[in-house]
Structure 1
Amino acid sequence: MRLMIAGGGGFRVPLVYRALCSGYFAGLVDELVLYDVDPARLAAIHAVLRDMPAEGSRPGVVVSTDLDDSLRGTDMVFAAIRPGGTAGRVIDEDVALKLGVLGQETTGAGGISYALRTIPRMLELAEAMRRLCPDAWLINFTNPAGMVTEALVPVLGRRVIGICDSAGGLVQRAAAAVGVPLQEGRLDGVGYYGLNHLGWLYRLAPEGRDLLPDLLSSHDALSSMEEGRLFGQHMLQLLGCLPNEYLYYFYETHHATAAIRRQAETRGASIHHQQRSLYPELAASSHAYAKWEAARRSREEGYLAESRAEGEQRDEQDLAGGGYERVALAVMRALAGGTPSTGKTTQLILNVPNSPVAAVAGASPDEVAVPGMPRDAVVEVPCEVTSDGALPLPQERPGGQFLTLMRHVKEVERLTIQAVREGSREAALQAFAAHPLVGSPDLGRKLLEGYEAGFPELSGLWSRARVPGT
């Protein structure tokens, strides 16, 4: 199999390569193509891969700055691009914070800004895939993952699948907390619904009986997992479920914003400064892998730091890596016809259109996965993945407050996609104003003007009537 990574100079690419060299995913890929628009970043990551300790069989590696050459003959594409680089992330966060609004790259105003400059580039990639490798699958890491995936469905249909590791990580931590770890690639008895970075685990019944009420009533069990410490037992019992960690920005907006503003620098600024000095060192170092691994661990330690009490550390298992890349490779293996060690089909929480649902007992052919959400909306739910694609499994209808928030954020996502597709500044303005973490036309206008000043290319977006993929 030939795998192409768009954003091949990305910081996490060595995690994919490491997983391909040994263990469960070894031998799955013959050739790995790293494509990026930045040759210096490609050179640095290539140096890390060359210096990585030899384990098992190594796929051949090709680096390229030519998109067409990279796509020809490709069977699978991973996309993890960041237009504007880490400097753009700094702007995403700072513009919002200066206006007193949450500054986070995927949630709220920062996520809309990120999407406005990312969706056009991802549509160009999708159009190139349709032209050069129409049978290839696109596994999308690019954030905001759910919104970007929905923008690409009109071009690639079911051949685009969005991934994120936060929902799956939540489920695994919850199962471990109640002493019933899940088998890899299986979600038996798991109920989860939402959008990317906006979802809830509402059932945990791997052996038939729902263990979630027991977990929510146990202070010790909740204290053993990050989400329990993050939200606190009282709130979780009121909700009756376990929220995705990113819902901290919705449930504790004031605390999150204040904590970010108290930090010496934002998360984006920290990563930008780290990478600006690290990449030249990687390209020139004879110990590139060790330098990269030290930087990766430091970066993981700072993840969602604003949500943790002073001195609190992340769980060791979360610092070890093994998130996004294992989800992506598990999807790829299943699409290629592979199955988990259980011999059953692969089940993962993914971002896919709300219908049709997988053919399971009691499900009608036209049933949607998340009742109450539009049929064509991309949602984040447990899916069954086979060589035919990822089909969502039917979930319960979300409770009123959950469904209301999902619908509200989905409307903002759709306004953002409309802004890109139609070159509509008015739609972008409505997206900023309507977001529940903004909620003000005047503030929405100031945010849009701030991002236009930070990203002059947005003016070019408004001057176009249409972009690829319409």
Structure 2
Amino acid sequence: MEGLKIVTIGGGSSYTPELIEGFINRYDELPIRELWLVDIPEGKEKLETIGALAKRMVEKAGVPIDIHLTLDRKEALPGADFVTTQIRVGQLAARAKDEAIPLKYGVIGQETNGPGGLFKGLRTIPVILDICQDIEQLCPDAWLINFSNPAGMVTEAVLRYSNITRTVGLCNVPIGMRMGVAEMLDVDPSRVQIDFAGLNHMVYGLEVYVDGKIVTKKVLEMLSNGAGMTMKNIVDLGWEPDFIKGLEVLPCPYHRYYYQTSKMLEEEQKDDAEKGTRAQVVQQLEKDLFQLYRDPNLAIKPPQLEERGGAYYSDAACSLINSIYNDKHDIQPVNTRNNGAIASIPNDSAVEISCVITQEGPKPISVGDLPVPVRGLVQQIKSFERVSAEAAVTGDYHKALLAMTINPLVPSDTIAKKLLGEMLEAHQDYLPQFFTHAR
């Protein structure tokens, strides 16, 4: 049959309307015949709400995309051209624990960094690898586009522990940085290009261009003079001007957790006392969004969705799918196998880097070695991701403890062990691999 079949696992996500909007806007280039939205039984009500909105959006736009809903991904996958994954194992209740428990030990509690990032990976990777097995059997030629966090660690695991080769990890941070730079310079985002290199939530802008001309120093000067560039879920504390001048590359918003740890911890503790963890704030945002989504007169993506921290995620996914399908050879930052692009990272590891996007997938643009000031931190986080992925697959307690301890946000092995014990207990329902092995 003519047209594409796309399967979105985690279709009941509050982000899905942005995905639908992206597909509608690109329909002339990306002729989608079928879009299957898949979720788990616990997400049935949300899936039905999102599915109804998706059908209204498609009808309003006048595009012939058939929307299908199912709680059985094996029903959805056969014949798929692209499979996108946007899952949250344990839902926001698990995220709340990831954020709250570390704070008790004076450690950053954040969903993709430090102990929270480790546990999100431990819960998510086994489920993603199960999905990979289904893809191998039911649609072996499909592309897997993952934007489940922690996206870098998940991509690492898929490349290392599955037979899926057509896989790309995606994050909204680079596109958010490009938008932020465009706003700082008061230019259209289409005129801004950034050479990205590093890891997911640990990516740097090595050079910044406007209309092809390097403006890196100007952007760093503006950043050091108080120009803001962050995301909805990360407080903007500004930067120490002399630090930015010494760094000489553009940091991403998540670098605040590593370069401003004590200040970020203070902010988290204050927020936790005043309004709860970010997960609790997001639970209310989601509640409000789904109230909007249920309105039978709503047939567009509501602007309130941008209050969620993941704005641009789905748009980035649509652009990537479009570029693979149409062999566009444009440049996009994605998570993919390094293949020598960053000299100081193993060739077989996942990196986040600017790539030329082709019908054969992303081709990383070589940057050589990362600058000395940032190289060590990136390598340390890559070690953390590698060991975490191994722990997720094997259920090895000692590997999990090692991963917790080598993360730079955890101050000692003693605290790591206490944290690991409490968080394993809290997430026991979603971590069977750790409770079927003797330690």
Q: What is the TM-score normalised by the length of structure 2?
A: 0.89
* SS class of match (1:412): helix
* SS class of match (1:91): helix
* C-alpha deviation, 1:28, in angstroms: 2.9
Cα separation, partners in 2 of 1:295 and 1:192, compared to 1, 3 Å: closer
Q: Take 1:172 and 1:275, find their aligned partners in 2: how far apart are those partners?
A: 24
Q: Take 2:430 and 2:316, find their aligned partners in 1: how far apart are those partners?
A: 33
Equivalent residues of 1:34, 1:61 under 8 A apart: yes
| 1:182-215, Cα deviation, whole Å (9 max, x unpaired) | 648x94xx43211000111121245564321133
* SS class of match (1:54): helix
Cα separation, partners in 2 of 1:175 and 1:233, compared to 1, 3 Å: farther
Cα separation, partners in 2 of 1:199 and 1:27, compared to 1, 3 Å: closer
* C-alpha deviation, 1:84, in angstroms: 0.4
| 1:366-388, Cα deviation, whole Å (9 max, x unpaired) | xx111111111111110011101
Q: Which residue of 2 aligns with 1:116?
A: 122
Query: Do structure 1's residue 97 and structure 2's residue 81 form an aligned pair?
Result: no
Q: Which residue of 1 aligns with 2:87?
A: 81
Cα separation, partners in 2 of 1:371 and 1:224, compared to 1, 3 Å: same
| 1:144-164, Cα deviation, whole Å (9 max, x unpaired) | 000001101132443110011
Q: Take 2:28 and 2:282, find their aligned partners in 1: how far apart are those partners?
A: 29
Q: Which runs of 5+ in 2 are unaligned?
A: none
Q: Which residue of 1 aligns with 2:305?
A: 296
Same amino acid, percent of matched pairs = 27
Q: Which residue of 1 aligns with 2:403?
A: 431
Q: Take 1:25 and 1:108, find their aligned partners in 2: how far apart are those partners?
A: 42
Equivalent residues of 2:60, 2:299 under 8 A apart: no
Q: Which residue of 1 aligns with 2:277?
A: 266
Q: Take 2:163 and 2:372, find their aligned partners in 1: how far apart are those partners?
A: 33
* C-alpha deviation, 1:131, in angstroms: 0.7
* SS class of match (2:347): coil
Q: What is the TM-score normalised by the length of structure 1?
A: 0.83
Equivalent residues of 2:136, 2:164 under 8 A apart: no
Q: Take 2:240 and 2:248, find their aligned partners in 1: how far apart are those partners?
A: 12
Q: Which residue of 2 aligns with 1:3?
A: 6
Q: Take 1:207 and 1:66, find their aligned partners in 2: how far apart are those partners?
A: 47
Cα separation, partners in 2 of 1:166 and 1:400, compared to 1, 3 Å: same
Cα separation, partners in 2 of 1:296 and 1:176, compared to 1, 3 Å: closer
Q: Which residue of 1 aligns with 2:49?
A: 44
Q: Which runs of 5+ in 1 are unaligned?
A: 304-317, 340-344, 356-367, 466-470
Alignment-mate amino acid for residue 275 of structure 1: E
Equivalent residues of 1:372, 1:397 under 8 A apart: yes
Alignment-mate amino acid for residue 50 of structure 1: K
| One of 196, 202, 210 as aligned partner of 1:192 | 196
- Comparing 217-226 and 128-137, the one that deviates more: 217-226
Q: Take 1:434 and 1:445, find their aligned partners in 2: how far apart are those partners?
A: 12
* C-alpha deviation, 1:417, in angstroms: 0.8
Alignment of 1:455-470 (within 5 A): 455-457=427-429, 460-463=432-435
Alignment of 1:80-229 (within 5 A): 80-154=86-160, 155-175=162-182, 177-178=184-185, 181=188, 183=190, 187=193, 190-205=194-209, 209-218=213-222, 223=227, 225-226=229-230
Equivalent residues of 1:215, 1:221 under 8 A apart: no
* SS class of match (1:30): strand
Q: Which residue of 1 aligns with 2:317?
A: 328
Q: Which residue of 2 aligns with 1:238?
A: 246
| 1:124-152, Cα deviation, whole Å (9 max, x unpaired) | 00111011100000011000000001101
| One of 393, 411, 420 as aligned partner of 2:383 | 411
Cα separation, partners in 2 of 1:287 and 1:448, compared to 1, 3 Å: farther
Q: Take 1:98 and 1:25, find their aligned partners in 2: how far apart are those partners?
A: 52
Query: Do structure 1's residue 351 and structure 2's residue 335 form an aligned pair?
Result: yes
Q: Which residue of 1 aligns with 2:17?
A: 14
* SS class of match (1:11): coil
Alignment-mate amino acid for residue 95 of structure 1: I
* C-alpha deviation, 1:222, in angstroms: 6.2
